[in-house]
Amino acid sequence: MPYKTIKNLDEYFEPLVCNKIRKKLGKYADLTKTFIIEENYIDGWWREENSIYYSKTLYNETNKFSTRVHLVKEILSGPEGVNEDNYIGYLILRPIPVLQSIISKIIVKPLKEAFMEDDEKLEIYTTKCKFEIHIGGKKIEFLGFPFYQQDTMVSSCAHADILMVAEYMHRKFNTNRPLIKDFFSDLLSYSYLSHGRLIPSPGLSVDQISTILQKIGVQTKIRFPFREDLQLYEIEDKLNDFLESINSYIESGLPTILTVKEHVIVIIGHTLKADGEKDYIIYDDSGAFLKEIKPGKNPAFYAVVPYKELKEYLKYLIEEKHLYYSVASVNVEFERMYFPYEEATKVANLIEKEIIEKELSGIKEWIKIKKRRFLIADSNDFKIRCSEKGNTVFNYIPMPHYIWICELYLKDKEIIFDILIDASAHQYDIHSWIAIWSKGTILFNSRYTNGEAKNTYNINIPPFVYSNLSGNEK
């Protein structure tokens, strides 16, 4: 039989392995009522690891097959009862004798119950891509974000994060498929990137992470926001700007690799509480970061880290430990996303101070603006969503492939303005705004109407919350 169905992990695995799996799965282990074991599973990444290193050892346990464990949230007697509603996801185990590296992949739905603590009104929003499995003669499709754990020989935490992000970009946006063997050829192709032998893996620098991703075909933007000569008040401003840039990429559906000290983690989304407060959803392959920020706990592969907590930790590293260059981000970007986030914020600042005040002086609510939200969007998708809400004005305006959207909010969380900015513009073009959308008016920059359309449209449709993130799974 290709499958073994069990209710408890200790029916199949040794106690140490059971304990390892349960700790790594966190609340997902408690949510799982049936485990379906699929032996002799062919996993591409394990095949690569085996070829690169393990096939050259004398380990009796090691072979070309791995073990896949399916997680189901209903009690079943076999795989025939699995469906898209009760299926949670799966994990893959390496056939190696090193317990700390036995888990390879975890692919699960981002279930609300797994992230909930005390707040039942918590909502979760994550970057997701499609996965497909075949079990019991059925095809099951679900959305999730790929987790990969380093084996500490072929791969380090940096390799793990590259694989997570690159696999997501491949499945979501059709970039090249990541292959572990290419990571090694990429490093050897650039002698200045090599830090000596590659196995056991010495880890990767931020530059190496960026180079490997770009060789795969994923564009990146590195941000080192802190320097030794910054004053304390400058550090606070830089830290706020740094975290806001991360927020912008996450809202755009683009995960962020964050470096902290000598470790890297992936920020894949955020929670949203009833009071509007957001916390980060983080994947940490080894748990090194989560152990430090949440001491005394055995971290799962994921965690909800409060915004304030992460900010205070980064501030501690910079102000007290003086690790200025240990904090950085590697943001993945779209190919035609030429106008930088920093310049887009400058354009939005200019519009807030000059155009909104002058052109829309009759609408005084702009003075009450409490916050704003930045994200990148596919203009075609934006037009489709506008049309679904009854606004067809944008259908007649030529737009670049990608646009920056700046949403300006009132204190009551109501959007008062949308500012649309050309993401394909020259990086120093301060006049690259496309349109300003208020409650009843859309004001266009005449540059983008080509003289064939009006500059101002009066509509009775307010701007709406746009998002590239998917919400809760049930």
**Bridge partners for 5 per DSSP:** 36
CA dist., res. 105 & res. 204, Å (int): 20
**pLDDT over threshold 50, residue 133:** yes
> pLDDT tens digits, residue range 386-429?
999 999 999 989 999 999 999 988 765 678 889 999 999 999 99
Share of the chain above pLDDT 90, in %: 65
Segment 312-335 mean pLDDT? 92
Decide: 257 and 245 in contact? Cβ < 8 Å.
no
Asked whether the CA dihedral 76, 80, 85, 91 is positive or negative, the reply is: positive
Share of the chain above pLDDT 70, in %: 90
Tell me: cis bond preceding 79? Omega within 30 of 0 counts: no
Decide: 233 and 313 in contact? Cβ < 8 Å.
no
pLDDT band of residue 469 (cuts 50, 70, 90) is: confident
pLDDT, the chain, mean: 89
- Tell whether 281 and 301 lie within a shared domain: yes
Our count of domains for the chain comes to: 2
| Buried b or exposed e, range 437-470, using 16+ CB within 10 angstroms | bbbebbbbbeebbeeeeeeebeeeebbeebbbbb
- pLDDT score at 473: 56
- pLDDT score at 191: 47
**pLDDT over threshold 60, residue 31:** yes
Alpha-carbon separation of residue 173 from 240, 294, 374, 431 (angstroms): 29, 34, 20, 29
**pLDDT over threshold 90, residue 452:** no
Decide: 7 and 76 in contact? Cβ < 8 Å.
no
* Within a domain: 289: yes
- Tell whether 349 and 436 lie within a shared domain: yes
* Within a domain: 91: no
- Tell whether 347 and 421 lie within a shared domain: yes
Nearest-5° Cα angle at 383, 380 to 386: 150
Q: Of 333, 362, 379, which one is at a domain's C-terminal end?
A: 333
- pLDDT score at 412: 59
- Tell whether 351 and 453 lie within a shared domain: yes
Among candidate residues 220, 216, 129, 217, the one with its CA nearest the CA of residue 172 = 129
- Tell whether 289 and 372 lie within a shared domain: no
Range of the domain at 256: 232-333
- Tell whether 348 and 328 lie within a shared domain: no
Segment 180-189 mean pLDDT? 71
pLDDT band of residue 202 (cuts 50, 70, 90) is: confident
CA 20 to centroid of chain Cα atoms: 25
> pLDDT tens digits, residue range 148-161?
999 989 989 999 99
Decide: 70 and 90 in contact? Cβ < 8 Å.
yes
Output the pTM of the full model: 0.92
**pLDDT over threshold 60, residue 369:** no
Segment 163-170 mean pLDDT? 97
**pLDDT over threshold 60, residue 383:** yes
